[in-house]
Structure 1
C-alpha cells in the first residue's frame, strides 16, 4: 500500500474508531513512516547518550541491491515489516509467503494491542501504527514473500488489468516501467509486458512483489497474472475488496485499543461509513488524487465528527527533523519523549517479537 492508505486511510480509520486527533495522527504517521525509515544510523550525544535508528524499509536502488545480496537484511526488513509470513505450507519458502489476514497476523495484532496498552504512555501509539502498516500490507502483498524466492517470479506476458479509465491504465503501466528502470541497468524495453516484468524480477532477486511493480498497492485495481512456477494462475486480485477488508479490520483493531487504553471518544460503526470508504478506494486516480479524496471525505464530516483541527498533511521530514535535533537537546534522555524515538522503540519491539518469538513458535526460524 502507499501513502494514501498508510497515512490518510489509517488516520481516517483511527478517528472513526474513536481516537482523538492527537492519537490518530501519531498512529497514522508511524504507519506511513515504516516506508520512510530507511537508515540504520546511530548518533552520539555530547553527554555520551546514543540514539540508534533501524531501517524498516529500503526505497532506493542501492539499498534494494544490497537487500537482494544480503539475506539477513531481507529478513530484518522485508519479512517482519512488509511481507508478514502466513505460516502455511510444508516448506519454509511457503511458510514465509504472505497470507491475507492470516492467523499469524491476527496473533500479532492481538499481541500488539495488548502490549500497546501496557506502554500507552511510552511507545504504544507508534506500535499501533507499525501494526497497522504490517497488518494492512497482508491485504495487498499476499501471495509474495519477503525473501528472494522463485515462488515470487511471474510470467510477464500474463498480466490482465481491469481499469475503466484508459488514461489511468496508461499511467499505472508507465509507473510499472519507471519502477523497472529504477532498479535495473538501463536498457531499452522493447516488449513492456514481458521484458519489463522479467527485468524487475531479476533486479530484485525475485524479492517481494518486485516482478509486479506497484500493482498490489493500487486500491482501485483489479488484476491477474500467472506465477512462473507451475504457471499457476493468481486469479483475479480484487484490490478494492481486499483494501475495504483491511479498513474494516484496522477500524476494529483501533476501536479495541482505544477502549482498552481508556481513550475512546465517539466511535463510529464501520458499517455506517463502509459505503463511503468503498467509494474512495474505487477511485481510479494517481496517489495524489486518492489522497485528496480521503482529505475531502474527512473534512466534510462524512466519516466521523471532525474537530477544529484534523491532521490532514503528512511529511516525513517532521520526524526526520526530530532525529536531526538530537545533538542539540540539552540532555540525551530527553529524546525518549520524541515520537521518532518512540517509533524506533516500537519497531525494535515488533521486529524482535516477530522474528524471535512468534515465527519460531510456528516452525519458522529465519534469523
Structure 2
C-alpha cells in the first residue's frame, strides 16, 4: 500500500474508530513513516550520548534489497508479515491477509496501550497489518513464491510505469519483462510492479509454483480499512479481541469504497491529497476536518524536529541530546519499531515454527 492508504485511510479509520484527531494523526504518521524511515545505525550526540535506530524500509533499488539477511529484518516484520502456514520455511514465510500471526501482532500492540510508545507502536503495527492484504501471496525473503509470469492488469498504464521504472533504476533497458524483474527484485512483490498497492487494480499472473493468481484489490483494501477501524476500537477499549469490535458504519464504509475505487491518479501523493480533500469536504460521513500534511524528511519532519538534522546522512553533524528528544515522535517511533520487530521475529514467529532473525 502507498501513502494514500497508510496515512489517509488509516487516519480515517482511526477517527471513525473513535480516536481523537491528534492521536489519529500520530498513528497515521507512524503508519506511513514505516515506508520512509530508511536511516539505520547509531545517532551520536555531541555529549557522547547515543541512540539506536532501525530502518523499516529500503529504497526500491537499494543494493541492500538483494541481501537476504537484511530483507529478513526489514521486509518480513514490517511489510510482508509471514502467516506461518505450511511445512517449509518458504511456505511459512508467505504473507496472508488477516492471518492469525497478524492478529496476534495487533493484540500485542493493544496490550501495550499504556506504554509511552503506544500510539507509535499502533501505527507501526497497522502498517504491517493492512499490508497483509496488499502483499498477500508474496514473501519478504528470497523465495520462488515471489516469481511473477504473464502479468496482466485492467485499467493500468503498464507502459508508462515501466518507463519511469527504467529511469529510476538508472539503466538503459529496451525491454523490461516480469522474468527480468523476478531476477532483479527477488524479494516481495517487486516483479508484480505497483499493482499490489493500487486500491482499484484488477490483475492476474502466474506465480512461481505455476498457479494462476487473480486479484481484485478493492474489496481487500476496504476490508483492511474495516479491520484497522476495529483494531483502533479494540485499542481504545483495551480489548485484545479487536476483531469482535464494531467496524465502520455502513455509510462510511460505502464512502471509503467509492474513494478507493475512483481515486486513481498514478501519483500516490496526489491520491493522498484527494483523500484529504474528501475528509475536509465532509464526504466521509461523520468526519469533516482538515488533515495536516505529511512531511517525511527535511524541515518540519519528525527527525528535524527532534534533532535539527535535515538529511539522512547524519554521520558528520551531532545534535544536542535534550529531554525534548526523549519526548519526540522520532524517538518514540524508533523505539516502537524495535519493540515491534522483537515481538514479531523473536516471539510470535518462532512460536509458529518460523525463525528468520
The reply to whether TM is greater than 0.5 is yes
Once residues 293 and 280 of structure 1 are traced to their aligned partners in structure 2, the CA distance between those partners, rounded to angstroms, is 9
Shift of 1:118: 2.5
Question: Hey, what's the Cα distance between the residues in 1 that align with 2:105 and 2:8?
Answer: 23
CA–CA distance in structure 1, aligned partners of residues 236 and 41 of structure 2: 33
Match of 1:296 in 2: 277
Aligned residue number for residue 195 of structure 2: 215
What's 1:354 paired with? 344
Tell me by how many angstroms 1:114 deviates. 1.3
Matched, 1:275 2:254: yes
- Residue 338 to residue 268, structure 1, CA distance change in 2 (3 Å): same
Gaps of 5+ in 1: 164-168, 190-194, 262-266
The answer for unaligned runs of 5 or more in structure 2 is: 240-245, 310-317
Shift of 1:332: 3.7
Q: CA deviation at 1:47?
A: 2.6
Partner Cα distance (1:124, 1:304) in 2: 28
TM-score (norm 1): 0.86
Paired residue secondary structure (2:72): helix
Q: Bigger shift: 174-183 or 218-227?
A: 174-183
2:314 is aligned to: none
- Write out per-residue CA displacement over residues 228-269 of structure 1, whole angstroms, 9 at most, x where no aligned residue: 43x2101x21101100000000011011112339xxxxx994
Question: How much does 1:296 deviate?
Answer: 2.2
The answer on whether the counterparts of 2:307 and 2:325 sit within 8 Å (CA) in structure 1 is no
Aligned to 2:114: 118
For 2:161, the equivalent position in structure 1 comes to: 175
* CA offset digits 1:4-63 (Å, max 9, x no partner): 0010111111111111111011100000000000111322222322122111000152x2
C-alpha distance 153-184 of structure 1, shift in aligned 2 (>3 A): farther
CA contact (8 A) 1:42 1:51 kept: yes
The 3-state SS of whatever aligns with 1:282 is helix
* Within-5 A mapping of 1:172-251: 172-179=158-165, 182-183=168-169, 185-189=171-175, 195-204=176-185, 206-229=186-209, 231-234=210-213, 236-251=214-229
> Following the alignment from structure 1 to structure 2, what is the Cα–Cα distance between the partners of residues 81 and 252?
20
Secondary structure, counterpart of 2:177 in structure 1:
helix
Aligned partners of 2:18, 2:6: CA distance in 1, in Å? 18
Larger RCO of the pair (alpha carbons < 8 Å, separation 6+): 1
- Report the Cα distance in structure 1 between the residues aligned to 2:249 and 2:111, rounded to whole angstroms: 22
Shift of 1:289: 4.3
**2:235 aligned residue:** 257
Residue in structure 2 matched with residue 340 of structure 1 by the alignment: 330
CA contact (8 A) 1:49 1:333 kept: no
Higher helix share goes to which structure? 1
| Alignment-derived partner of residue 85 in structure 2 | 88
How many residues align? The count is: 338
